[in-house]
């Protein structure tokens, strides 16, 4: 390589260019899904800016303070919700949005839109004010109702196997967008000086096993017997306990390094805490495309039929061997329960 070549090394593949090249992956779409992914990336850039500015503004303003203009200041998670809804509404491809921040379906007014998006605009938002990584999680479905009208609950309450795309954005030491359309998983890192996402992690493959377990052990008194025994097994194997409290951050680390993330059912929360529609399904699609596994302890997450927009479910996700080992302990517990009845 000559000295002149070194002065102008290629910067890499941008997200936009990558999406354009991959349009042939969607035989039934004529660019709509590509546009939708671009809309999400645009909103992610704006939210990234807001998050990076948050240290300079009064985050406590989220709790009722007013700014110098006399306006109520908003939480970053509310701001993120507004940004993503606005980008998806303006993009024109989405008829309906299910958001963690809104109890009801959000109709965008795009009656010709062919897609439904389920989204957690800012996951882990309790970590915002302590400068810990947070994220966005999204899941995309093709609507089943005819175009020309508003999206329906039937459009939203599809099993995860019907997802056409899913991804997450992690806002950390660098900002990354990771997504799949059912043809593998690719990660893009944001370059703020150029305002572009660049392909940095092509063809992400998760290790078959790992030595990290991620669970909130503060809840251990409420764990069922199977979960307690599996955690004890992890300790016997000298696995490392890593738990940030931001689902995206914990999942991202384990996806790349190998491990298992768990948010099980507890005695108090019989269906766990995490939401099937816009947290569990999206990450399950990603992990399966990367060679991993996701389960509710007994069955595949993506085969669960959601009954409501904000339905919760137990969640075990990560390296295939670790998830299957967790399922063994859960099956043993289930068998013991049957014997005692």
Q: How far apart are CA 184 and CA 16, in angstroms?
A: 17
Annotated ligand binding at 126? The verdict is yes
Distance CA 194, CA 51 (A): 18
Picking from 6, 340, 10, the residue whose alpha carbon sits closest to that of residue 199 is 10
For 176, the enclosing helix (H) or strand (E) is strand 175-180
User: How is the chain split among helix, strand and coil, in percent rounded to 5?
Assistant: 40, 25, 35
279 is annotated as contributing to ligand binding: yes
Cα distance between residue 312 and residue 327, in whole Å? 19
What's CA 156's distance to the chain center, in Å? 17
Residue 229 CA to residue 242 CA, distance in Å, equals 18
- Euclidean distance between CA atoms 293 and 300, whole angstroms: 8
How far is C-alpha 197 from the chain's CA centre? 18
240 annotated binding-site participant:
no
25 is in an annotated binding site: no
User: CB under 8 Å to 338, separation ≥6 — which residues?
Assistant: none
Residue 278 burial by Cβ neighbours in a 10 Å radius (0-12, 13-18, 19+): buried
Token duo for residue 249: 């951050």
Residue with tokens 């998050």: 51
Do 18 and 199 meet the contact criterion of CB atoms below 8 Å apart? yes
The pair phi, psi for residue 142, each rounded to 5°, is -85, 130
200 is in an annotated binding site: no
Record the tokens describing residue 288, joined without a space: 């399966």
Size of the chain in residues:
341
Is residue 120 part of an annotated ligand binding site? yes
58 is in an annotated binding site: no
Return d(Cα 314, Cα 294) in angstroms, integer: 10
Known binding residues for substrate are: 123-126, 216, 243, 273
Known binding residues are: 100, 120, 122-126, 216, 243, 273, 279
């Amino acid at each position: 390589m000559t000295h002149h070549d070194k002065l102008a090394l290629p910067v890499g593949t941008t997200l936009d260019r990558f999406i354009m090249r991959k349009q042939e992956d969607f035989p039934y779409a004529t660019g709509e899904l590509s546009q939708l992914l671009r809309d999400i990336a645009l909103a992610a850039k704006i939210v990234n800016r807001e998050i990076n500015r948050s240290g300079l503004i009064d985050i406590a303003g989220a709790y009722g303070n007013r700014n110098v203009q006399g306006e109520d200041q908003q939480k970053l998670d509310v701001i993120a919700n507004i940004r993503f809804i606005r980008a998806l509404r303006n993009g024109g491809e989405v008829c309906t949005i299910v958001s963690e921040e809104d109890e009801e379906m959000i109709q965008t007014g795009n009656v010709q839109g062919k897609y439904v998006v389920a989204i957690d605009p800012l996951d882990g938002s309790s970590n915002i004010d302590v400068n810990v990584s947070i994220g966005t999680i999204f899941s995309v479905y093709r609507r089943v109702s005819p175009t020309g009208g508003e999206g329906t609950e039937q459009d939203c309450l599809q099993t995860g196997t019907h997802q056409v795309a899913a991804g997450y954005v992690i806002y950390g030491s660098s900002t990354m967008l990771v997504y799949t359309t059912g043809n593998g998983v690719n990660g893009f890192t944001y370059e703020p000086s150029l305002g572009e996402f660049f392909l940095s992690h092509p063809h992400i493959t998760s290790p078959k096993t790992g030595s990290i377990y991620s669970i909130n052990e503060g809840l251990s008194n409420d764990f069922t017997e199977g979960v307690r025994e599996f955690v004890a097994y992890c300790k016997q194997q000298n696995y490392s306990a890593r738990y940030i409290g931001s689902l995206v951050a914990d999942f991202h680390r384990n996806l790349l390094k190998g491990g298992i993330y768990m948010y099980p059912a507890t005695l108090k929360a019989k269906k766990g805490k995490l939401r099937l529609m816009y947290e569990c399904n999206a990450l399950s699609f990603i992990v399966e495309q990367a060679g991993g596994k996701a389960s509710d302890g007994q069955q595949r997450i993506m085969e669960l039929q959601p009954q409501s927009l904000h339905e919760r479910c137990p969640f075990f996700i990560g390296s295939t061997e670790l998830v299957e080992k967790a399922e063994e302990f859960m099956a043993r517990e289930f068998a013991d329960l049957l014997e005692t009845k």
